[in-house]
Structure 1
Amino acid sequence: MKKKIIFLSNGNFSVPTLKYLINNQNKYNLIIKTIITSKKNIINNENNYIKQIALKNNINIIYSEHIYIKKNIKTIINLKPDLLIVISFKYLKQIIWKIPKLGTINIHPSLLPQYKGANPINWVIINGEQKTGLTSFFINKIIDSGNIILQKIVKINNIITYKKLYKLLSKKTKLFLIKTIKKILNLKKKKFKLAPKINNYYSKIYFNYSINKISNLIRGLPYNKPAWCFLNTNNKIKILNIYKIKIINYKHNYFNGKILLKNKNVYISVKNGYIKLLKCNIANSNKKIIKDIEIYNGLINYKNLFVF
């Protein structure tokens, strides 16, 4: 399914990028649903080519002067955009940039956080910089301060003019934007792992897990919140806290959770092997943590031993 784009720009800096996006929508599996731009001509009496491109390609226009009218906000919401792309635009309020699923991104013609503001191309030349570049970032409440997605360095010499650097960065923006979109889509495909607060739900051992997963759980928990399981002794159920084990990879025919007492050691059968108990105790018994032979001695007189 094509990703739905809304393109926001009041400046001709973004013209090469917009043309490229329109001509390559199928190639990149995108569709530009709406263009938001100024109703007026651009400063210095230049024509608003963004507006002309939208009209020529029959793309819906919302004028930036009217962007916060309730009807236009509703239109943007109903379009269900995946991404808002902002280049050379005015400050955008949260009511708009919070709408798209994938976020709202801005392309800024400098290497942020250097040269935040409206005229970075002028100031890198005025200050005699030897490099500038492009930065893509997610828009937030503070201008030019969102999380950076990508940056591209562009070297500059001591004879380049504002006009030439403007054109150079403008042309480079189109492919830089495509790389930014691809990175966003790849990030969204990844499944990020969470780190919730440890409680009894997360610390419970399930013996149908793999031997390594059980080991990881036990090793990953602190002594004040140990991994635990239910222990059956003579058909009485207790809670067993397990603090340290040794894993033994070995094929067997026992059910998962069976306790075996061998050579004064205690083993629990699991998938593809056994876990050997090295440190444990019975919960709520006020007993200290016991080791090796003590565990064995504590269980030797019980029958029908298993954990679950």
Structure 2
Amino acid sequence: MIEYNNSQLKKYPRIVFIGGTSFSICSLQQLHMLKYNIIGIITNPDKYIKKNKNIVFNNKIKQYAIKNKIPILQPTNFLDTAFIETLKSWHIDIQIVVSFRILPKHIWNLPKIGTLNLHASILPNYKGPFPIHWSIINGETHTGLTTFFIKNDRIDSGNIILQKKIHIGKNETYGEVENKLKKISGDVIVKTLDQVIIKKQTHDNTSTSTSTSTSTSTSTSTSTSTSLFYARKIYNEDCRIQWQTSFVDVIYNKIRGLSPYPTAWTYLFIKNKFYRFKIFLSKKILVPHLYTIGLVTISAFEMKISAKKGFISILEGQIEGKTKMSVKNIINGIKIKTNIFVK
């Protein structure tokens, strides 16, 4: 076991950062800015995009690693011998995982102190890959971040170290809530890491060395929820709006919970043809009416769709074959204003 004196305690444990999305970058930047000893980074294999007629990779984690000369690994297979041997040669004290795919035991069990994970929900509720989306879709008023030690192969399960709760605004979208969580993720990771290192030294790697007075297993955490929701992956068909069976509140939450990605959609009937129609932004109008469900009514500045107990007023959308645009431009592009409905 490595021992740290007081001057080494904060900065020098050998840390490997593991992240795969833009959500990860804030935590990495915060740790690096505060001069924590990041000896390596693990991220996803490259995906390339076209930019200014050039083909470039779009992995922000890799871009940051290259810019700051931090060694980087991009495994396609966690069983790859060369990858495993490189990790072992790094003599890792702590791994920090933020927004990455599931790690096998021989990877998360490798560091001397352990592997920390940050998850975008208040565990044990909303375990799974899409916690922010589902929290908004389900009409939750709060979400947050949880850090925990990975101790088994069950998804998002382990001993909770720290939790930070935030409010979800009644009109906030997935993108807005994700940005709020990004902004606090670095501070949450830093506080977690400091707590773990201090407890590690103070209690000499006992079973309580990484617990706080409120720490507990995610399976036994005190939760006010009567039932726990698993935030499974969202597929294309999950994004389709069910006008006939859903109330206006449910539809509105779905639209904002899927905006800007993967985006709620429906079929829009115009001029005897159905077009796929994505809805990025909307507002709900709660008012009784006698309109047929799914009927689209258009005025000079408003496009609204009748639903159970109200209307969905479109603010920003995209008709198949066109770019994303404001409702004003959508209305201007629709020449016939009658006999339009969604399905």
1:90-105 correspondence runs (5 A): 90-105=101-116
- Retained in 1: the 8 A contact 2:144–2:164? yes
Query: In the TM superposition, what are the counterparts of 1:91-240 in structure 2 within 5 Å?
Result: 91-139=102-150, 140-191=152-203
| Residue 76 of structure 1, aligned match among 52, 65, 87 | 87
Contact persistence 1:121–1:166 (CA under 8 A):
yes
Aligned to 1:3: 13
Q: 1:115 to 1:23 in 2, by over 3 A?
A: same
Name the larger-Rg structure.
1
Q: In 2, are the aligned partners of 1:11 and 1:42 still within 8 Å (CA)?
A: no
Residues 45 and 76 in structure 2, CA contact (< 8 A), matched pair in contact too = yes
Matched, 1:40 2:7: no
Distance 1:167 1:92, change over 3 A: same
Question: Structure 1 residues 161 and 178, CA, compared in 2 at 3 Å: closer, same or farther?
Answer: same
In structure 2, what is the Cα distance between the partners aligned to 1:95 and 1:42?
Answer: 30
- Contact preservation (8 Å) 1:82, 1:102: yes
Residue 191 (structure 1) shift = 3.0
State the 1:144 CA deviation. 0.2
> Gaps (5+ residues) in structure 1?
195-308
Instruction: Identify the residue that residue 18 of structure 1 maps to in structure 2.
Output: 28
Q: How far 1:189 moved relative to its partner?
A: 2.1
Deviations 1:159-208 (A, max 9, x none): 111111111101110000011001111221233799xxxxxxxxxxxxxx
The whole-number CA distance in structure 2 between the counterparts of 1:72 and 1:16 is 26
How far, CA to CA, are the matches of 2:170 and 2:29 in structure 1?
Answer: 31
Alignment check: 8 A CA contact 1:33 1:79 kept = yes
1:70 is displaced (CA, Å) by: 1.1
* Paired residue total: 190
Structure 2 segments unaligned to the other structure (5+ residues): 1-7, 50-55, 207-343
Question: C-alpha distance in 2, partners of 1:146/1:173?
Answer: 19
Change (3 A) 1:15 1:192: closer
Q: TM-score, normalised by structure 1?
A: 0.58
Deviation at 1:67, TM superposition (A): 3.7
Percent identical residues: 41
Amino acid aligned to 2:115 = T
Relative to the length of structure 2, the TM-score reads 0.53
Q: State the shift of 1:103 in Å.
A: 0.5
The one-letter amino acid of 1:41's match is K
The code of the aligned residue for 1:154 comes to: I
Tell me how far apart the structure 2 counterparts of residues 163 and 121 of structure 1 sit (CA, whole Å). Answer: 9
Cα RMSD over matched residues? 2.2
Specify the SS of the correspondent of 2:95.
strand
**Cα distance in 2 between the residues matched to 1:149 and 1:156:** 23
The structure carrying a bigger helix percent of its residues is 1
- The correspondence of residues 292-303 of structure 1 with structure 2, limited to 5 A, is none
> Amino acid of the residue matched to residue 80 of structure 1?
H
Corresponding residue number in structure 2 for 1:55: 66
> 1:101 deviation in Å?
1.3
